[in-house]
Chain A
Amino acid sequence: MCGIVGLHLRDPSLEPRLGDLLSAMLGQVVERGPDSAGVAVYGDPRLSPPGQAVVSLLGTSKTEVEAALPGVVAFDADATTVVHAGADQLAAALPEATVIGSGEGFAVLKGTGNPVELADAFGLAGVSGWQGVGHTRMATESAVTPEGAHPFSVGPGQCLVHNGSFANHATIRRELRAQGVEFDSENDSEVGARFVAHQLEQGADLEKALRLLCERFDGFYTLLVSTGDSFAVVRDAIACKPALVAETDAWVAMASEYRALDVLPGIENARIFEPEPEEVYIWRR
């Protein structure tokens, strides 16, 4: 199981409603993954003020951050602490904390427990922005911890959420480790995120990175991958994990089930389709 939701807004007038809509979508896929949840939000001025580096952390708190870095803005959202500072600065000041997202214009929030309660704890309904992704997890390959929750954000502004399981994640993790890539969890999906980030670092564009993932990864996957300007969906060759895309002039949305799309304005006139297996779909800002 696991539930995926994502919303890429084309109509700026909807941006104040991003968090409200994403929260409603997330609430429709709780049964698919009741053990933990996470979201990534692109463009909320409170979470990620324009032009400012933002880091999302686990294993610390606003109090600890402010003690270590006086004057830096930080706030807690359930297990996550969002800090308005650069990743290098934080790594030096708080070496024990785990970075779960960094970049400009976006923030990652995750935790364990009921996804609806987590969305409340994140204050998600009040968030604005131009793009958001969310995930409700049913743990299969690793423990229920905030580190094991999705999204996995391991490159600047990038996010990956996954429904399914990778069969050869241990092999690929070893290969990536041999190339110097470090991991935060034993989660199979993190291997997918590290693989995509690694390909992007080496010069592949997002489409190529996802094609390479299809070639290399064995298992079941529906993936929603987002970056600072893109929203992408890809499924494995068997396509046994559900995925629906709905598209209007005002937005593009993806979800595991139709009921998560039904909450969106204008859904009655949307073009709704299931992504084809191993085809990479990308929408750009």
Chain B
Amino acid sequence: MATLIDLARTPVRELNQALHAPEAASWRVLNPRGAHAVACGVREDLAVDIEGHVGYYCAGMNQRATVTVHGNAGTGVAENMMSGTVRVRGNASQSAGATAHGGLLVVDGDASARCGISMKGVDIVVGGNVGHMSAFMGQAGRLVVCGDAGEALGDSLYEARIYVRGAVKSLGADCVEKEMRAEHFVELAELLKAAERDEDAADFRRYGSARTLYHFNVGNSAAY
């Protein structure tokens, strides 16, 4: 039986303090009503179910916890996550999973602009579409997009890998399509399974860095 916290009566700060010194393993949060920083900085193996839409930075800096948003999430969901799982049942706004170092972020709906900006090891699986400049400056980790990707996908990408099932509006500077080799089908199938998705890895294309922008070169100035 999950411990119930109703944000209509309890401030977000008290919820987060309770999650930082948890007396239960399973939590259910009611009436988030777009509040910011819900379930931020959790560092334990907790299950946190949030029943409704959240505002900015939900589950930011998450470690180990499994946070599920049964609604939409605002800007910066799972920002700087280290480990654990964050799942958004609805849509996520901009900068989902920004700078996250590890763990798994699943967005069942769409994620808007700059999904996975500066990702540093996180795995992100989006069931719908992602907006423009997704995986911008991605350094490590995997971004899986089951729908379409907006403009400038993977702009100035370092080593993050991108898999897209639908159409890509345009690729950003230094991002190129790459061959799907056997190990990529295996990796992608594992990611889809972890995200509880049933898409076929065979339907995806892979994108990555052409590695021409790693070091500043004046000859590349038109591409920056």
Q: Known contacts A258-B72, A262-B53, A274-B112; decide if A239 and B34 are in contact (CB<8 Å).
A: no
Question: Which residues of the other chain, A, contact B75 by a CB distance below 8 angstroms?
Answer: 242
Interface residues of B toward A: which range? 10 to 19
Q: How far is the CA of A242 from the CA of B56 in the complex (A)?
A: 11
Q: Which residues of A contact B113 (CB under 8 A)?
A: 238-240, 277
Besides the contacts A239-B132, A259-B34, what 6 more A-B pairs have beta carbons closer than 8 Å?
A240-B94, A242-B94, A257-B74, A262-B53, A272-B72, A274-B112
Chain A window 233-265, contacts with chain B (Cβ cutoff 8 Å), 1 for yes, 0 for no: 000001110101000000000000111111000
- In the assembly, what is the distance between CA of A277 and CA of B53, in Å? 23
User: CB < 8 Å: which of B34, B35, B91, B131 contacts A261?
Assistant: B34
**A residues with CB within 8 A of B:** 28, 238-240, 242, 244, 257-262, 272-274, 277
Q: Residues of B contacting A260 with CB < 8 Å? A: 34
CB neighbours (8 Å) of B33 from chain A are 259, 262
Q: Which of A238, A259, A260 has the most CB of B within 10 A?
A: A259
How far is B132's CA from A257's CA once the two chains are assembled, in angstroms? 20
B116 at interface by CB-CB < 8 Å: no
Interface contact B132-A258, CB-CB below 8 Å: no
A262-B93 contact, Cβ under 8 Å, with A242-B75, A257-B74, A272-B72: no
| Chain B contacts for A272, CB-based, 8 A | 72, 91
Chain B's closest residue to A235 (CB) is B113
Determine the chain A residues whose CB is within 8 A of the CB of B112 once the complex forms.
239, 274
Assembled-state Cα–Cα distance A259/B132 (Å): 24
Those of B132-152 within 8 Å (CB) of chain A: 132
Q: Which residues from 68 to 115 on chain B have a C-beta closer than 8 Å to any C-beta of chain A? A: 72, 74-75, 91, 93-94, 112-113
Asked if B34 contacts A242 (CB within 8 A), the reply is: no
Q: Are B132 and A277 in contact (CB under 8 A)?
A: yes
Interface pairs (16), CB distance under 8 Å? A238-B113, A239-B112, A239-B131, A239-B132, A240-B94, A240-B113, A242-B74, A257-B56, A259-B33, A259-B35, A259-B55, A261-B34, A262-B33, A274-B91, A274-B131, A277-B132
Contact of B55 among A238, A257, A273 (CB under 8 A): A257
Residues of chain A contacted by B34 (CB below 8 angstroms):
28, 257-262
Residues of A within 8 A of B94 (CB): 239-240, 242, 274
B155 CB to nearest A CB, Å: 12
Report Cα–Cα, A240/B75, bound state, in Å. 10
Question: Is the beta-carbon distance between B93 and A242 smaller than 8 angstroms?
Answer: yes
Residues of A within 8 A of B55 (CB): 257-259
